[in-house]
A and B are shown apart, each in its own frame.
Chain A
Amino acid sequence: MKRQLILEDGTRFVGEAFGSERQTIGEVVFNTGMTGYQEILTDPSYCGQIVTMTYPLIGNYGINRDDFESIEPHVFGFIVKEACTSPSNWRSELTIDEYLRTKNIPGLAGVDTRKLTRIIRQYGTLKGMICDMDVSVSEAVAYLKETELARDQVKRVSTKSPYASPGRGHRVVLIDFGMKHGILRELNKRHCDVVVLPYNATTEDVLQLHPDGVMLSNGPGDPKDVPEAIDMIRGVLGRVPLFGICLGHQLFALACGANTEKMKFGHRGSNHPVKHIETGKVAITSQNHGYTVTEQSLVHTRLEVTHIALNDGTIEGLRHRDVPAFTVQYHPEASPGPEDANGLFDDFMAMIEQFKKERGVVHA
Chain B
Amino acid sequence: MPKRQDIETILVIGSGPIVIGQAAEFDYAGTQACLALKEEGYKVILVNSNPATIMTDTQIADKVYMEPLTLEFVARVIRKERPDAILPTLGGQTGLNLAVELAKAGVLEECGVEILGTKLEAIEKAEDREQFRALMNELGEPVPESAIVHSLQEAYAFVEQIGYPVIVRPAFTLGGTGGGICTNEEELIDIVSSGLKMSPVHQCLLEKSIAGYKEIEYEVMRDAKDNAIVVCNMENIDPVGIHTGDSIVVAPSQTLSDREYQLLRNASLRIIRALGIEGGCNVQLALDPHSFQYYVIEVNPRVSRSSALASKATGYPIAKLAAKIAVGLTLDEMMNPVTGKTYACFEPTLDYVVTKIPRFPFDKFESANRHLGTQMKATGEVMAIGRTFEESLLKAVRSLETNVYHLELKEQVDDALLQKRIQKAGDERPFYIAEAFRRGVTVEQVHAWSQIDPFFLTKIADIVKYESVLREHVGDIDVLKKAKEMGFSDVAIAKCWHMAERDVYEIRKRACITPVYKMVDTCAAEFESETPYYYSTYEEENESLVTPRESVVVLGSGPIRIGQGIEFDYATVHSVWAIKEAGYEAIIINNNPETVSTDFSISDKLYFEPLTIEDVMHVIDLEQPIGVIVQFGGQTAINLAAELAARGVRILGTSLEDLDRAENRDKFERTLAQLGIPQPKGKTAFSVEEAVRIAEDIGYPVLVRPSYVLGGRAMEIVYKKEELLHYMEHAVKVNPQHPVLIDRYLIGKEIEVDAISDGEDVFIPGIMEHIERAGVHSGDSIAVYPPQTLTRDIKQKIVDYTIALAKGLRIVGLLNIQFVLYDGDVYVLEVNPRSSRTVPFLSKITNVPMANLATKVILGAKLKELGYYTGLKEESEGVYVKAPVFSFAKLRNVDISLGPEMKSTGEVIGKDDTFAKALYKGLVASGIHIRPYGAVLLTIADKDKEEAIDIARRFYNIGYQLLATNGTAQTLREANIPVTVVEKIHTGTPNILDVIRQGEAQVVINTLTKGKETESDGFRIRREAVENGIPCLTSLDTAKAMLLVLEAMTFSTTAMTEKKVGV
Contact = CB atoms under 8 A, between A and B. Distances in A.
Given A35-B258, A273-B343, A311-B342, A57 B353 contact: yes
B661 interface: no
B346 A284 contact: yes
Contact of A89 (B252, B255, B387, B524): B255
Interface in A304-324: 310-311
A88 interface: yes
B199 to A, nearest CB: 37
A67 B258 contact: yes
B1021 to A, nearest CB: 50
Interface in A45-103: 54-57, 60-61, 64, 66-67, 81-82, 84, 86-91
B346 A311 contact: yes
Interface residues of B, number: 53
Nearest to B226: A281
Nearest to A90: B290
Contacts of B523: 32
A310 B225 CA distance: 15
A303 B101 CA distance: 56
Interface in B200-259: 225-227, 229-230, 252-259
Interface in B524-553: 524-528, 539-541, 543
A338 interface: yes
B772 interface: no
A54 B258 contact: no
A335 B226 CA distance: 23
Contacts of A57: 254, 353, 388-389
A158 B1041 CA distance: 84
B526 A117 contact: yes
Nearest to B223: A282
A35 B541 CA distance: 24
A124 to B, nearest CB: 13
Contact of A32 (B341, B345, B526): B526
B541 to A, nearest CB: 4
A118 interface: yes
B349 A32 contact: yes
Given A280-B225, A284-B347, A337-B262, A86 B526 contact: no
Nearest to A269: B349
Nearest to A265: B526
A37 to B, nearest CB: 8
Nearest to A39: B258
B960 interface: no
A339 B227 contact: no
B518 interface: yes
B261 interface: yes
A226 to B, nearest CB: 28
B454 A86 contact: yes
Contacts of B269: 340
Given A61-B256, A89-B257, A273 B388 contact: no
Given A35-B256, A67-B259, A272 B352 contact: no
B331 interface: yes
A269 B258 CA distance: 12
Nearest to B336: A311
B524 A114 contact: yes
A335 B291 contact: no
A202 to B, nearest CB: 36
Contacts of B458: 86, 88
Interface in B734-774: none
A38 interface: yes
A114 B262 contact: no
Given A82-B388, A86-B455, A34 B266 contact: no
A337 B258 contact: yes
B261 A113 contact: no
Contacts, number: 153
Contact of A336 (B258, B347, B351): B258
> Main SS of chain A's interface residues?
loop
Interface in B311-364: 331-332, 341-343, 345-353
Given A88-B458, A269-B349, A335-B258, A114 B525 contact: yes
Contacts of A88: 255, 453-455, 458
Contacts of A32: 349, 351, 523-524, 526
Interface residues of A, number: 53
Contact of A35 (B257, B352, B540): B257
Given A114-B541, A275-B332, A281-B225, A60 B255 contact: yes
A36 interface: yes
A121 interface: yes
Contacts of A311: 341-343, 346, 527
A60 B291 CA distance: 17
Contact of A114 (B289, B341, B351, B353): B351
A334 interface: yes
Contact of B345 (A56, A273, A339): A273
A70 to B, nearest CB: 16
Interface in B634-686: none
B265 interface: yes
B540 A112 contact: yes
Given A112-B541, A311-B343, A282 B524 contact: no
A292 to B, nearest CB: 16
A338 B262 contact: yes
A280 B455 contact: no
A271 interface: yes
A329 interface: no
A310 B527 CA distance: 13
A118 B227 contact: no
Contacts of A335: 258-259
B815 to A, nearest CB: 45
Contacts of B227: 281-282
Given A60-B255, A112-B539, A114-B524, A338 B265 contact: yes
A54 B524 contact: yes
A270 interface: yes
B332 A282 contact: yes
A33 interface: yes
Contact of A310 (B332, B388, B455, B528): B332
B119 to A, nearest CB: 20
Contacts of B347: 270-271, 284, 338
Interface string B848-883: 000000000000000000000000000000000000
B353 A56 contact: yes
Q: Which of B262, B266, B269, B341 has the most CB of A within 10 A?
A: B262
B526 A115 contact: no
A81 B350 contact: no
A164 B419 CA distance: 57
A38 B261 CA distance: 14
A34 B388 contact: no
Interface string B997-1015: 0000000000000000000
A284 B229 contact: yes
Contacts of B388: 56-57, 81-82
A351 to B, nearest CB: 24
A211 B429 CA distance: 62
Nearest to B227: A282
A156 B667 CA distance: 82
A113 B351 contact: yes
A90 B342 CA distance: 37
Interface string A278-290: 0011101000000
Contacts of B332: 273, 275, 280, 282, 310
A117 B255 contact: no
Interface string A253-275: 00000000000000001111101
Q: Which of B257, B289, B389 has the most CB of A within 10 A?
A: B257
A36 B261 CA distance: 9
A76 B261 CA distance: 27
Given A54-B351, A281-B225, A282-B332, 6 more contacts: A38-B258, A81-B388, A84-B455, A88-B454, A118-B541, A339-B266
8 contacts: A32-B349, A32-B524, A32-B526, A33-B349, A57-B353, A61-B256, A114-B351, A337-B262
